[in-house]
Structure 1
């Protein structure tokens, strides 16, 4: 893991790069972050009129977590392209560690740390000692090693209020990063190198089976290449739009395409899109409001 960060680094950008390179040497892919915890390298598609779905296929940098790498020269190039970066993100779900991050928030009346303890007691597992990062708000990031053959999705508050999950397509703010709220630090007294495996009981909660297919009028399952593609597009969303498109944005776009296509299956496709949005953590009322907005826009 990275060296213990200084409480008052003289050069935040150099410090962030140093920590990012140290973490990458352990097989964890990284990207530079700005003080707002968003990817620091600007998108090469930002001036395009239509939203781009490029994830780096264009060969340029600026695709958020899709830029994450363990190659030292590539990491230095990313930081050189964003000299304002004061932190770094660690991509989750990638080999060899298949990192799963538990973001335990502690603020106001929410206590994610206590909530995880209650979940562990209810489902008969022990939260393992693992790499732990303290956040500026007093919360924690727990690093866990996921299995090779299970895709853990990102979620916000689905497990419990105050617990966000960073899985495939997501990232964690790395220790040593400086943000607008303060610095992320390795927890003192905890493991600094060994990432513990996700307990099996917890894994069942983090990666539940996919929801059953939505039904068309008449009880037939939603089918068709376009419908499947739209649902997959929503399911691949990441919280907060860290991949360039947020969950609401993707749901709105997919619903617009469904309404534009029309046909007798539209209601079934829209229901499947709402189910997909709820599955990745979007509140149902919010998902339905987004779909209704898409319907009005197309009309």
Structure 2
């Protein structure tokens, strides 16, 4: 017999999917509820669902009601759902405004709007159990995840990430729609906000030294690797994704991918996560999606 929280989460997930937003079931810890089919393999897998089995996190996300019901059926312990960000056609961005541990993301966002001369449109807003909120915005293409880049207490959920959907119950409590927010269309992210959310370009190459590469392509490759190596906590995945996109744009993607993964591992990412991020950039470039 399905538990009430499970049934409510499935119903809310189906309503959200009807808006064209792909969803996955989540456990009470806010993690994907369907366990990886590769968990017992001796070596980490970079499969993102190509095997055809569920359990690939955000890569399982779907708007198909039958698919969503099937995912919830194999995870009867699910009490919530996540909404995949950065996927066509909406390229959803979740602005996560945190108000705990001495941070006030709501005030930080207001200061950011004043400093850069933009205002966010009315949009779907979700109240979190900790007193924060999630703002849903659309973008013309994928935006990388980041933590604190826009300001203290402001995290960006973008390509490869997800936000917890309203109606979910977690160990911290329930996520709820802000009253009156259900009727709002998804607001478009202002161009000024998108510019701030994208990592800065790599620093100009240092003056040539005897041991540095001389060919322009080699210099470009070295600069992208340094860009990844200079990543700080909270921006590592976003900078890696950006560097991989630029590498594929320059025709260096396949050759440079191993070096980018190695650089990302040096910054603290797992090899599996780094390889998946680089592969995602390659697929976006191959499909002519904005990257």
Query: Same fold judged by TM-score > 0.5?
Result: yes
Displacement of 1:151? 2.5
1:153-172 correspondence to structure 2 within 5 Å: 153-172=144-163
Is the 1:131–1:194 contact (alpha carbons within 8 Å) kept by the matching residues of 2?
yes
1:69 maps to: 62
How well do the aligned residues superpose, as a CA RMSD in angstroms?
3.7
CA distance in 1, matches of 2:261, 2:61: 34
Query: For residue 28 of structure 2, what is the aligned residue in structure 1?
Result: 35
Kindly indicate whether the alpha-carbon contact (under 8 Å) linking 2:149 and 2:197 is maintained by their aligned counterparts in 1. no
Between the two proteins, the alignment pairs up a number of residues equal to 244
Residue 208 of structure 1 and its aligned partner are, at CA, apart by 3.8
Tell me by how many angstroms 1:270 deviates.
Answer: 8.0
Q: CA deviation at 1:44?
A: 0.3
| CA distance 1:98–1:84, shift in 2 (3 Å) | same
Q: What pairs with 1:81-92 in structure 2 (closer than 5 Å)?
A: 81-92=74-85
CA distance in 2, matches of 1:16, 1:62: 18
Question: Any unmatched runs of 5+ in structure 2?
Answer: 241-258, 272-291
Moved more, 211-220 or 131-140: 211-220
Q: Deviations over 1:141-162 (max 9, x none)?
A: 0000111xx3300011121121
- 1:148-204 Cα offsets, whole Å, 9 max, x none, are xx3300011121121110111110100000000000000013353401100111111
Question: How far apart, CA to CA, are the structure 2 residues paired with 1:204 and 1:193?
Answer: 24
CA contact (8 A) 1:213 1:272 kept: no
Residue 194 and residue 108 in structure 1: after superposition, are their counterparts in 2 closer, same or farther (change >3 A)?
same
Correspondence 1:273 to 2:282: no
Contact 1:155 1:164 in 2 (8 A): yes
Question: Shift in Å at residue 59 of structure 1?
Answer: 1.0
Deviation at 1:287, TM superposition (A): 2.7
> What is the CA–CA distance in structure 1 between the aligned matches of 2:143 and 2:199, rounded to whole Å?
9
Compute the displacement of 1:233 (Å).
10
TM-score by length of 2: 0.73
SS in 2 for 1:159: coil
Q: What's the counterpart of residue 196 of structure 1?
A: 187
Q: Distance in 2 between matches of 1:135 and 1:206?
A: 22
Aligned to 1:3: none
